[in-house]
A and B are shown apart, each in its own frame.
Chain A
């Protein structure tokens, strides 16, 4: 198989290494160093896709990041990636790609009928066409639009690849390794600065790879190669290729995506596919270069119409011809380099130059090589459907309004150059204003907003000599400010051709009687006529025109189309371009893989997993775990064939009958110390704290300033000025921040310190009528009688040689104790409890049984303290002191908080004593009433009461106080259930609280 468009003696690819690949099911080969685009062009493939709206045939337009057409669906190592630019995807063995946005095939695409119906798809057609009848939206329009939208399809499988994040700091971050990037990086690095040089492409050098210049006594490319080699060897420099700096954020933070294995058949086991770099730079050099812009003419989207610079790059870098009978259409000198390159490879181009009589070195050279040049000539329209076959050309009048003598010439490609657009995206993202430069008909960055500077053609400087001089100087100056070193390099001598002025001409007029589509935005199919229509319909702001027509809104973000769009609007509006302004540049500069943004923080790694010291015991004893915040807690301990219901019921019953042990390590714990601790707690909690004696615990409720309950827990006075506070598992971090706020900001005069001690203590709750017997057995030396250790008492004791704290507190409502030991002794404590508990039928219990026990006891928890309830609502109003002030007290005077029919916690039992009520169900009077049915309250927590052996729920109910005994309905539309219920007291078990005091 030969490659009829491959050149023998040119290119930077490795022709010794063939690489086979598949496109749309057909086998091809290319060489190492090819992109998918260059390899396809070498094989004569120019039809690679269909356009977004009209499904017109699409080929290649650029050779890199600016590519609007050649978007493919890529398969690699069993994964699939949409939205891959063929011009950037490097070839690897076994690569498979296919066209997108076409059905059944790229050659015969049904959707192409849109092209002939285009009268129905003008600008804003979504808004106009799909408005009526309204009922059609869900069933017909929306599915249709969804099916038609997008390039390719995302994989629905879990991505096997790994992505990494990396944080880096540097003195100078340099975006782009063209002449300005290399020169400034080199000058700064030699002056001692820590430099990161990032290049998007696999090859360094930017325009030096393809331009015909010499620096010092070397070719531009050799100079670039040598600088890169030297930079790579320096310890203070990081040089990265395949790395796109795509976002410039606040305070000189830039984000770069490094494609590590995208160019390889697969990632090896330990290599991430991509790495996201978060770089904080003291100074940024934006050397992102410029992108050639097209001239607009009829059917300018036909495959075979390419940017002149891309045609040159395909020849010089890849040794590939985009055509053998080229027409070159330009308004400036740079396209002559493309013409000369064709000529050197024995291809005869025809150059159409819109300028009347341009004079410059390179034009003379082209003429002397015998290249045919037609001045004052333009391409009127490309001819051909799936590939350019010929083009209509004409002479153009001096005022650029009239076409004279239209004729047709045969050609197989049209290389177009409408001059250069500086890539100002990063500077603009940084917040810099832009200014319009008449000389180059483009915007460049104005005054820097952050610590950044733009150099070279990104700053509108198109001569190499000036670029290098400035870049060497700036690299030196900027590094000197940071390093205080003074090692200045001389800028090398440059030999380049002088350029003549470009022509301010960007759109070929339509010939009389012709209605060619002239495209501005090639990816979103936005033509000149669409912009004209938007303006006729009254859109003025460029931001509105953009959104109405979708100009520049495709995945290429208008890299080749924005400026021509502005030119058109300014022409029609009879304004200058800067008065029209440009749309906002936002990150990312190029599409970024979602996987890279997420990094390693997926699945289990999306948050830390905290385990108690007893975790491995739980695992060995068949615990089924549940996520409790970031903690893993045993939900139940499975025996035989038990499910959640049977196991948790058994565990809860055993607590009520014998004794159970529960791992409560996860409870938030805060150490409070200092002589004003009592006063502080008195301000934080709603109840009184000044008189709590040493060795006693007290239950407390804390509010937010708006009166809503924030958290609850017990706090124990360990010694005169030392308290041990507990919080709920979920609120531990928030409570600590809350306390720190009041101590540091509001009451700094208080002598109190707080610190989290959650991880320092392991905790076991021993609960049940036999808990005292068990406690006595494991603490034989101390008196644990009701007198010596009463309810809410506290003792320090010795647990088989280990220091322990015993708190007589209870969440289950049974006689209960919590034993704490230092975390390292947690497992020791647990095993001692289990071992000694055998005599008392001890069983471990998990969070499900814990919930059951607290729900039927009417103890509130997170599902009642849900950030919407005040103390009254949750039955905690008895704990609100009337005498003293505390955080949030003033809010409790609010009228709504004191209504007589205020919501309040109640118990709920189904009338049939069988049907469990789904949590979240609404309580209503009449389930058959007309929607929306008045909601009286909601079910906050449900359990199977082991005491009564029937379902029981807690609810927050309007006028709950007076509703005890009423019959209501619990409705759960989600579960499609309506359950008749009776309202009872929330204290379903031991309402007088005798057990905890027994």
Chain B
């Protein structure tokens, strides 16, 4: 079970969190023309990298903040965690 440092609450066990997928996905802006391909990419297609991955996690059983977690999908090492508004270079 992962040990995740919530930027608001400190270290908590994984069972307090829900996984939220790729944190680098950007939702197309509202009221903007979006091609089928762009929309399909946004809704359905996700990369599944082996190695470093910036992910969203939701501290569901804690402060209910969505946070960013830079994690190695292979070794499960967590390099750092961020508040949702933090800019992260990956």
Question: Chain A interface (Cβ within 8 Å of chain B)?
Answer: 167, 249-253, 278, 280, 431, 449, 683, 705-706, 736-737, 740-741, 744-746, 748, 884-885, 890-891
Contacts and interface: CB of A to CB of B under 8 A. Distances in A.
Interface residues of B, number: 26
Contacts of B76: 250-251
23 contacts: A167-B13, A249-B1, A250-B1, A250-B3, A251-B76, A251-B78, A253-B3, A431-B75, A449-B75, A683-B30, A705-B42, A706-B43, A737-B18, A737-B60, A741-B20, A744-B66, A746-B27, A884-B31, A885-B30, A885-B31, A890-B34, A890-B39, A891-B43
A251 B2 contact: yes
B73 interface: no
A251 B1 CA distance: 7
A288 B75 CA distance: 24
B72 to A, nearest CB: 11
Contacts of A740: 58, 64, 66
Contacts of A706: 43-44
Contacts of A250: 1-3, 76
A891 B13 CA distance: 36
Given A737-B60, A890-B34, A745 B84 contact: yes
Nearest to B26: A746
A249 B27 CA distance: 35
Nearest to A891: B43
A265 B49 CA distance: 54
A737 B58 contact: yes
Contacts of B66: 740-741, 744-745
B5 to A, nearest CB: 11
Nearest to B31: A885
Contact of B3 (A167, A252, A431, A890): A252
A919 to B, nearest CB: 31
A745 B25 CA distance: 10
Nearest to A253: B1
A741 B60 CA distance: 11
A431 B74 CA distance: 11
Contacts of B13: 167, 253, 280
Contacts of B42: 705
Interface string B17-45: 01010000001101100100001001110
B69 interface: no
B85 interface: yes
Contacts of B43: 705-706, 891
Contacts of A746: 27
Interface of B: 1-3, 13, 18, 20, 27-28, 30-31, 34, 39, 42-44, 56, 58, 60, 64-66, 75-76, 78, 84-85
A154 B85 CA distance: 53
A746 B25 CA distance: 10
B23 to A, nearest CB: 8
B86 to A, nearest CB: 11
A251 B3 contact: yes
B1 A748 contact: no
Contact of B84 (A251, A253, A278, A748): A748
B75 A744 contact: no
Nearest to A889: B30
Nearest to A742: B27
Contacts of B56: 745
A706 B84 CA distance: 24
Contacts of B20: 741
A431 B1 CA distance: 14
A249 B43 CA distance: 33
Nearest to B66: A744
Contact of B85 (A705, A748, A884, A891): A748
Given A251-B78, A741-B20, A745-B56, 13 more contacts: A250-B76, A251-B1, A251-B2, A253-B3, A278-B1, A431-B75, A705-B42, A737-B60, A740-B64, A740-B66, A741-B66, A744-B84, A745-B84
Contacts of A891: 39, 43
Contacts of B64: 736, 740
B51 to A, nearest CB: 15
B26 to A, nearest CB: 9
A898 B44 CA distance: 19
Contacts of A449: 75
Contact of B65 (A167, A249, A744): A744
Nearest to A886: B30
B24 to A, nearest CB: 11
Contacts of B2: 250-251
A949 B53 CA distance: 60
A250 B30 CA distance: 40
Contacts of A745: 56, 66, 84
A333 B39 CA distance: 72
Contacts of A249: 1
Nearest to B23: A745
A588 B1 CA distance: 15
Interface core residue of A253, A746, A890 (most chain B CB under 10 Å): A890
Nearest to A754: B64
Contacts of B39: 890-891
Contacts of B75: 431, 449
Nearest to A746: B27
A280 B44 CA distance: 37
Contacts of A252: 3
Q: Which 8 A-B pairs have the closest CB atoms?
A: A251-B3, A885-B30, A744-B66, A885-B31, A250-B76, A744-B84, A253-B1, A890-B39
A885 B2 CA distance: 38
